[in-house]
Amino acid sequence: MKLEIREGAVEDLKEMDRQVQKQVRDEIEGLRDNPLGEYTSLLNKQGLEIFRLKLKNSELDHRVFFDLNGDKVVILGVEHRDNAYTQESIEKIKSRK
């Protein structure tokens, strides 16, 4: 599948330190081959229906929010778990759809 990363998601990544950025980007690249893998689920929260990829290891506890559009995976945002489900974050992701 093709991968489209929205500008807002790029900005989210820029706020992270470089090592975390690299790990998150590697996981995003993996969505090309398997967007509906083991750690992906459909999120329906506050009127937003979107896919969520959970990233969790010793250094990561992030969520990648994306949509599927034909043959494209559209990355809408990346948030640390602590901030991922706040009203502000949900509104931000909605605005990028």
User: At residue 58, does pLDDT exceed 90?
Assistant: no
Domain regions of the chain by residue span: 2-95
Res 77: pLDDT: 97
Each residue's pLDDT tens digit, 13-47: 999 999 999 999 999 999 999 999 999 999 987 77
CA separation, residue 78 to residues 12, 88 (Å): 6, 13
Res 47: pLDDT: 76
Res 75: pLDDT: 98
The class level of CATH for 2-95 reads alpha beta
pTM of this structure: 0.93
Q: What is the mean pLDDT of the chain?
A: 94
In contact, 10 and 75? CB cutoff 8 Å:
no
